[in-house]
Structure formats: C-alpha cells, structure tokens
C-alpha cells in the first residue's frame, strides 16, 4: 500500500499581497497531487492547513474542487485533517473540508477519530494547543493504540509540533514519547520542514513539510514537496516539486553590495518566471538607498522583493531593523515582569486564529484555577 503524504498547502494565502502568489499556492498543490497520482499513490493524506483560513476565497475553493474531482475519477481516496489555520472553532461553523466531504471529494477526520480506507486504519487529530492535547491524550490515545495493533496497516495523522523539532518549552504541542503506539506511519503536519525518524516502537514518523514556501526561513532550509510512503515495507521517498516560482535568498553588506546586486540581477533575468527575492543587508554607514539604481531594476524584474536591514553600531553590537510581533510582545511583557505562563499565553494568542482565542483562554484559566474553576462556574449558573 503506497500513500502520498501532503501537508500545509495554505491555499488562499495572498503572500506579499500578491494575487500571483495566491495562485502559486494553488499551483503547487495541483502539482503535488498530479505527481502523487503519477507515482501510483493509492491513498493521498493531507495533515492540516490545506487552506490558509477556514473561510477560503472562492477561487481557491473552486481550484481544490477541480483537483479533488480528478483524484476521485482515479478512485484514489483523499483523507484529511484540519490544522491551526483552517479549523473552525465557532459553534455551528464547519471547516471548508466539510463541504468537500459532502461533495464526496475527501474523507475528513475532525476533530479526532478513525476511518478505515482501502483496508488501512487512518487515525486523525486536528490541531490543538498543548493544554488541550494533554486531556485528549489521556482520554483517547490508549484506545487508538489498541485499534492500531488490531489493524494490518495503520496511519496516525496529526497537526502538532513535536519536541525533537521545537525543543524549547511552550513551542511544541506533543512529545514523541506521548504519541499513541502501534502505528506503521506517523504523518505529521504543522512544521514546514521535511524530516523523518524511525521510532523505537518500530513505526516511521515524518513531517511532509509544505508544498509552497511561506517564509524566508523555509526558502533557506528546504524544498517544497511531499512524502511517498510504502506502508508494507516502511520505505519513504521524498518527492520534490519542480517548476514552481523561484526564491532567491541572499545576504550581503555595504562592502560587496554593488557586486552582489549586479550578480543578483543576472540571476533574476535567467528565470522563466519572476522570482521572490529575500535579502538581508548589513551596514554601518552606507544605507541601501545608495544603490537605488540597481534596486530599481531588481524591483522591476522580481515578483516581490523584501529586504531586512541590519545596522552595525560597533564590533560588539548590531541592531536588526525588523523583529517579529512575538519578540516585541516578549520584551513588553518582560518589562511588566509578567510571569512566564502569561508570556507563553500571550505568544500563543498572538499566533492563534481569532476564533480559537476564547477556547485557548478558557483552557488556560481552567488549568490555572483547577477545581476552583468548577466552583466558580456553578455559582455563575445560579446567578
């Protein structure tokens, strides 16, 4: 049994406010599915964030429908879970995957459950913050392990970061040691990096990465693609996607700026389609505007150009002119002497979708108050 493992396609994401980039994400997904079918995948699984939002634009939704209709015509099941971007948290609101399931185009496992497809047990866990995962693990993982052991072939699909990738406290949702046992393949999403390892229990664990780049870090460290896995033999083949929009990531300084920019222009001209150019410029006295003649040419040739400028004050100190919102929040809360748990909550809320905020806050309060939370809840009901 050969399955294709895709993840984190983020369809509908208008990166750099560019309609072309939004279409790039759909093109990458189409290409991944086409390649999976060409390579003989008998089932395609997607481990979360198929869409950028649980309310995708009509162009992206229609594009997915067209792709999945082709998959259905080939009689290849498409099994999916939702991620942190495309899950629906509000009551009475469904993720877009539900529409696709109602059209007979995919099998959705949400928020947790199992489906048997072509004789293979597929268990799925959508994205949940770590405070929720602990409760889910205690209540359901033993049962999932028993089902896996009774099945000839089994796959556990989840959309959480594991500790071996994001090792610092608060960054991961699951420990590797906490995964349910007995599965042949652990199909992971959420981390946009292809990586895999053989577990001590014998199963194969792998992240499929993303089908398109969402950040400079992703363009620097990896390639776009998916995993092709033979469940009987445990063999994994990495399939890279070719022909997508090129990314150019370059670092330079005021001493070599003119030379690097000239070489960069030649590279940009050589591509079949306008690339995305991501630059880091380090300087002390010569601002980048000094090279405006070359920059104007670069802007005219590239689809998008983003530049991070880092000013060196002296040999010991540098100042980066761009920081993430999370960095600023940590600095601000540090000045207020906020406790570490409050800082973690703030960072988590900053990256969460608006609909998930009430649930995250409720569980934070519930964890902190313990039994007192129930007493307060009962008193409020009597008011």
Q: How big is the chain, counted in residues?
A: 383
* Residue showing tokens 């990586």: 195
238: its two tokens: 């990495």
**Residue at token pair 């033993």:** 142
Tokens matching residue 236: 């994994």
The encoded tokens of residue 218 equal: 């992703």
Report the distance separating Cα 249 and Cα 292, nearest Å.
19
**Secondary structure string (H, E, C) spanning 203-233:** CEEEEECCCCCCCHHHHHHCCCEEEEEECCC
Find out whether 198 and 213 touch, Cβ atoms under 8 Å. no
Q: Whole-angstrom Cα distance, residue 128 to residue 319?
A: 36
Nearest-CA neighbor of 75 among 108, 47, 120, 105?
105
Report DSSP state, residue 307. E
**Residue 134 in contact with residue 142, Cβ under 8 Å?**
no
CB 123 within 8 A of CB 157: yes
**Block residue for tokens 């942190």:** 84
Q: Which of 46, 85, 97, 190 is catalytic?
A: 85
Q: CA–CA separation, 249 vs 29, rounded Å?
A: 23
SS3 track for 162-211: ECCCCCCCCCCCECHHHCCCCCCEEEECCCCCEEEEECCCCCEEEEECCC
85 catalytic? Reply is: yes
3-state secondary structure of 41: coil
Radius of gyration of the chain (CA): 23
Whole-angstrom Cα distance, residue 211 to residue 97? 18
Catalytic (active-site) positions: 85
């Amino acid at each position: 049994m050969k399955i294709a493992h895709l993840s984190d396609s983020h369809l509908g994401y208008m990166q750099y406010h560019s309609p072309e980039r939004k279409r790039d994400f759909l093109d990458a997904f189409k290409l991944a599915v086409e390649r999976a079918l060409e390579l003989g995948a008998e089932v395609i699984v997607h481990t979360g964030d198929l869409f950028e939002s649980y309310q995708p634009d009509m162009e992206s939704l229609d594009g997915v429908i067209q792709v999945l209709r082709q998959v259905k015509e080939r009689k290849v099941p498409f099994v999916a879970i939702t991620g942190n971007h495309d899950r629906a948290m509000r009551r009475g609101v469904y993720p877009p995957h539900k529409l696709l399931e109602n059209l007979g185009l995919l099998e959705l496992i949400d928020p947790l459950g199992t489906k048997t497809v072509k004789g293979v047990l597929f268990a799925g866990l959508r994205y949940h913050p770590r405070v929720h995962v602990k409760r889910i693990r205690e209540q359901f993982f033993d049962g999932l392990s028993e089902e896996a052991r009774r099945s000839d072939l089994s796959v556990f699909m989840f959309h959480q970061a594991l500790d071996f990738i994001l090792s610092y406290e608060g960054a991961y949702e699951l420990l590797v040691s906490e995964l349910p046992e007995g599965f042949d393949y652990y199909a992971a999403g959420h981390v946009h990096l292809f990586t895999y390892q053989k577990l001590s229990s014998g199963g194969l664990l792998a992240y499929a990465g993303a089908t398109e780049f969402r950040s400079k870090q992703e363009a620097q460290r990896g390639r776009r693609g998916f995993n092709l896995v033979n469940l009987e033999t445990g063999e994994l083949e990495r399939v890279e996607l070719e022909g997508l929009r090129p990314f150019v990531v370059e670092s330079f300084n005021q001493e070599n700026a003119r030379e690097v920019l000239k070489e960069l222009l030649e590279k940009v001209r050589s591509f079949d389609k306008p690339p995305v150019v991501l630059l880091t410029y380090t300087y002390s006295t010569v601002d980048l505007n000094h090279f405006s003649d070359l920059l104007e040419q670069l802007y005219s040739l590239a689809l998008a150009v983003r530049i991070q400028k880092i000013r060196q004050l002296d040999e010991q100190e540098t100042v980066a002119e761009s920081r993430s919102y999370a960095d600023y929040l940590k600095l601000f809360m540090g000045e207020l002497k906020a406790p570490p748990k409050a800082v973690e909550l703030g960072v988590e809320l900053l990256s969460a979708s608006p609909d998930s905020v009430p649930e995250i806050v409720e569980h934070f309060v519930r964890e902190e108050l313990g039994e007192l939370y129930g007493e307060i809840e009962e008193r409020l009901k009597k008011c």
